[in-house]
Structure 1
Amino acid sequence: MRQIVMVMVAVIVFSFPLSIQANDTESLHTWKELNHTSDQILQLVKQEKFEEAKQLLDYFSVMFLEVDFQEEKITMSSLRTVTGSFEHAVEAVTALDMPLDQRIYNVTAFRLAVDALSSEHHPLWLHTEESVMNALSNMKVAMVAGDSQGYQHRFNEFLRHYDMIRPALLIDIEPQHLQKIDSQITYLERMRSEIIDKDKVVPHLEVMETEWTYLYSRGKEDSADPSLWWVMFTIGGMITMSLSYVGYKKYKAEKQKVRGKE
């Protein structure tokens, strides 16, 4: 019985990737190419090769328009988001006096949006957790210390991170969740024009930290590859069946021994 179970497990483990490969359609290849091209554009901008980056953006545009958006079930909201981030990326490589860091931020936002649209698992925006959470933490530290100028500086830093990942969030998370985050940020922006009240800001920042922690943890759960879970549950079920059978056989053998002695 144990040998049979092991054979079944082996068949499942080795045949499952083959079934995935069989479903690797031309559409999947196109999305991989789009994702790869957006990454190349970002690398070129970091190297200040703006003309080459512009050429790749033109190539991306042509390739992207060949996608059957209805067939791919891409929503109008997601399409507008990617189009908007694309326009900002074009501006980043064609502007004459834009600072390099702002160019990189714009193109990174485009890169994250394309990845969010094309990747079913492990989107790149999840890797921004440390920088975003650090920015929130630094805002709270500055406010607790009464450092108003430092708080404003950290707030600007947080806003830059948020503007960079917001297009990807528009694609990946529920609208009501994003609206909640937007309203929390709007509240802090309104308080900038007033005398900042530490007793109001600090608790609000703690709520935001909780919200962002939940956002990233939820994103990690949603990005888990269901095929991996399927394999784990299947193999786990087979192992459980094997152990149950072995235990049952041992129980019967022990019972027969007792009967023999009697």
Structure 2
Amino acid sequence: MRRIIPLFICCLLLVNTTPMFSAQELDWGQKAEQILQEVQREQYLEAKEDIKQLSDDFIASDLAKKQLKIEAVQVLSTLLIELDTGLNAISPNKSNLVRKATQLYLAFDAAVNRSQPRWKGYRTTLEEDIARVEKMLPTENRREIKRELDKLIEDYQLVRPAILIAKPVEATTKFDSLMVFLRDQTEYPAIREGLKEARQLVQIIFLGKDEDVLSWKGSFQKIPTGFILFVSGLIGSALTYVSWRKYWEKKEIP
């Protein structure tokens, strides 16, 4: 009995700290994956209908019980609006739509899937991107180095919304700063050091605990002046949950 009581208390704590999702809400990730597949097949009308359904379900849910950060609600709302807007364009840009749909899928999956989220599969991608930049450094070919750095930043942007949802906000803040540092740096030794820290941070974000993310500090202390512009470019317009709801309400007006 003495052994059972502590175990029971631990179970209660786990229940109280685990986000409560209904069966329907657990399907958010599957619905987002379906939208991605429809976009890939250029079934835009079907994708628009599913986005509307996913949005309605998201609005109807009690977000207060999901333990979603305000930043998470904002980024999910923003992705829904951006993808819906892209699908309503006169000439939809498929590559851009696929990218937005991928972000949407990874983000909603991160919200409901805490055990084996899909975004963690991108660790290898980022590590390979870092390795390619490191391989180019001895050549001192600025154009090729920039191209590989841009690829690293692009792949990070793809998974960034999911990281923002699953990890402390400091994870994306620190990686944003590090990406700006690398993008604006012209000295090869500094780039090499920045890449080393990027590799460390990838390991911590994808494999470490939240406290590891919070305690990690890079050698660069000041956030570059371009940081705000960089973040703006990553997450788009700073849409709030209220404005997002108004967006969908206006769409329903005949």
Secondary structure of 1:95's aligned partner: coil
Asked if 1:212 is matched to 2:206, the reply is no
Distance 1:181 1:145, change over 3 A: same
Structure 2 CA distance for partners of 1:95 and 1:141, relative to 1, 3 Å: farther
1:176 aligned residue: 170
> Using the alignment, how far apart are the partners of 1:130 and 1:197 within structure 2?
26
CA contact (8 A) 2:149 2:183 kept: no
Query: Helix, strand or coil for the counterpart of 1:74?
Result: coil
Superposition RMSD on alpha carbons, in Å?
2.4
Partner-residue secondary structure (3-state), 2:66: coil
- Structure 1 residues 137 and 99: alpha-carbon distance in aligned structure 2, compared to 1, 3 A threshold: farther
C-alpha contact (below 8 Å) 2:110/2:118 kept by paired residues = yes
CA gap of 1:98–1:213, structure 2 versus 1, over 3 A, is farther
Going from structure 1 to structure 2, the CA distance change for 1:114 and 1:219 (only over 3 Å counts) comes to farther
Alignment of 1:35-114 (within 5 A): 35-97=29-91, 99-114=93-108
Kindly state the Cα deviation for residue 219 of structure 1 after the two structures are TM-superposed: 6.6
C-alpha distance 213-98 of structure 1, shift in aligned 2 (>3 A): farther
TM normalised by structure 1 equals 0.68
- The higher radius of gyration belongs to 1
Runs of 5+ consecutive residues of structure 1 not aligned to the other structure? 1-25, 223-262
SS in 1 for 2:67: coil
Counterpart secondary structure, 1:48:
coil
Change (3 A) 1:158 1:98: farther
- Read off the aligned partner of 2:189 and give its amino acid letter: D
How far apart in 2 are the matches of 1:219 and 1:128? 17
Partners in 2 of 1:101 and 1:137 — Cα distance? 26
The count of corresponding residues between Structure 1 and Structure 2 is 194
Instruction: State how 1:1-262 maps to structure 2 within 5 Å.
Output: 27-97=21-91, 99-191=93-185, 196-218=186-208
Superposition TM-score, scaled by structure 2 size: 0.70
Taking only the aligned residue pairs, the percentage that are identical comes to: 17
Gaps spanning 5+ residues in structure 2: where? Answer: 1-19, 213-254
